[in-house]
Structure 1
Amino acid sequence: MAGKVVLHYFNGRGKMESIRWLLTVAEVDFVEVYLTKREQYLELLSDGSLMFQQVPMVEIDGMKLIQTKAILNYIAEKYNLHGKDIKDRVKINMYSEGLMDLMEMIMTLPFSQDSKEKLETIETKAKERYLPVFEKAMTEAVYLVGGKLSMADVLLLECTLMLEEKFTGILGDFRNVKSFQGRMTEIPAIREFLKPGSKRKPQPDERLLKEVVEVLHIKLPIP
């Protein structure tokens, strides 16, 4: 697999899914090595591949990268999805980190004992804290920052799709965001990624949860 981008993670969404999205939009082909056994994780630890003993881990350009935000920022920089200057980049990062905070709330739901209560909290925060920010930003804009496609746009699309899986009609009062979502899904690479059989992962199921617990010996949160 020399020269290829290689993703080391579970066969599920988690924090790797945003990386899959960004690579897809950048039109970068990648292969995946799925962690299904504890021994695979221990091998990555023993050969020094995991700086902080965590996945996701991405092999790219001769490096083994960990930490989701660092990986996303590297891909965004490399493939011109990080704005034209430092001011654009900090705006993109602010939007992106907010979206990642919201998506992480959804990611950890399968590991929660109070999923109904947490669902209500997520819906409230999405409607009152997060979606209004993007609705305002998209009032007279095609993209969030600098008039061009960026990492923040990709994460916003991913996040809105995740929200709609949990809360039908949640974008009803956010017309600008819904219109943005429609435009983004017409991008050829994204259109293909949304089709059945693509490298996009489905919502987590019992199989995935069992693998995460067995491989990492943890229960909460999802890595």
Structure 2
Amino acid sequence: MSEKPKLTYFNGRGRMESIRWLLAAAGVEFVEEFLETKNQLSKLIKDGCLLFDQVPLVEMDGLKLVQTKAILNYIAEKYKLRGKDLKDRAQIDMYVEGTMDLMGMFLMYPFSPPEQKKTQLASIIEKATTRYFPVYEKALKQHGQQFLVGNCFSWADVQLLEAILMVEEKKPDVLSSFPQLQAFKERTSNIPTIKKFLQPGSQRKPPPDDAYVATVMSILA
């Protein structure tokens, strides 16, 4: 029996959270090692574990995987969450790139100066509701299927649900004008593996707080 994937990152969301989501959606159990000191990161770099001297790091199948999109691609391909053919994969990749752009804004938000946060959050919400969510709403309405691509559950669906829940944490009624996305959220949240990941006590991480930001900054300083 193969060992569980090992995830090395800070004890928080960051760039590792989408990886946790995708493994959980695929029903894959994993273990985690959290970086708490600068020395831990330095040792990983010295030992040659990090190709570009940065985390996230995922160790699985005898590989030391770095670079977030490369890791996600590997997991999606391995667990058949990348569609049935090249055309499906192209569509999935486009949707994924879109949600990554949106979630990237949330990734940087906790590290912004306090005086900028209110304006920055308003800008992120505005982009979510005018640039990103309408695309997914239209796609689901036009093809009348349960999932974004090929009526088959994929990486794109996992990432979209993650993005929806992330925005809802800041604006609970954000889906009020998006009935297709409301139904999508309900549907995908009840997929057994995802439902388990959304339960209290899972390896899903909470929104970043000041302590998390301080830890990350001290390690990367």
> Could you tell me the TM-score, scaled by structure 1's length?
0.95
Is the counterpart of residue 18 in structure 1 residue 18 in structure 2?
yes
Partner of 1:84: 84
Q: Percent identity?
A: 54
Tell me what 1:120 maps to: 122
User: Which residue of the partner structure matches residue 220 of structure 1?
Assistant: none
CA distance in 1, matches of 2:201, 2:108: 25
Q: 154-163 or 46-55, which moves further after superposition? A: 46-55
| In 1, Cα distance between equivalents of 2:161 and 2:129 | 16
Provide structure 1 residue ranges, at least 5 long, that are not aligned to the other structure.
218-223
- 2:162 pairs, out of 151, 158, 165, with 158
The aligned runs of 1:129-208 (5 Å cut-off) are 129-139=131-141, 140-208=144-212
Distance in 2 (CA, whole Å) between partners of 1:196 and 1:61 is 29
The letter of the residue matching 1:14 is: G
Considering only aligned residues, what root-mean-square deviation do their CA atoms show, in Å?
0.9
Shift of 1:192: 1.2
Q: For 1:216 and 1:51, how far apart are their aligned partners in 2? A: 16
Structure 1 counterpart SS, 2:125: helix
5+ residue gaps, structure 2: none
Encode CA deviations 1:44-73: one digit per residue, 9 max, x unaligned: 100111111111110011011111111001
TM-score, structure 2 normalization: 0.96
1:221 aligned partner: none
SS at 1:138 equivalent? helix
Q: 1:3 Cα deviation (Å)?
A: 2.3
Task: Quote how far apart the aligned CAs of 1:92 are.
Answer: 0.4
Q: Distance in 2 between matches of 1:76 and 1:21?
A: 11
The whole-number CA distance in structure 1 between the counterparts of 2:85 and 2:181 is 25
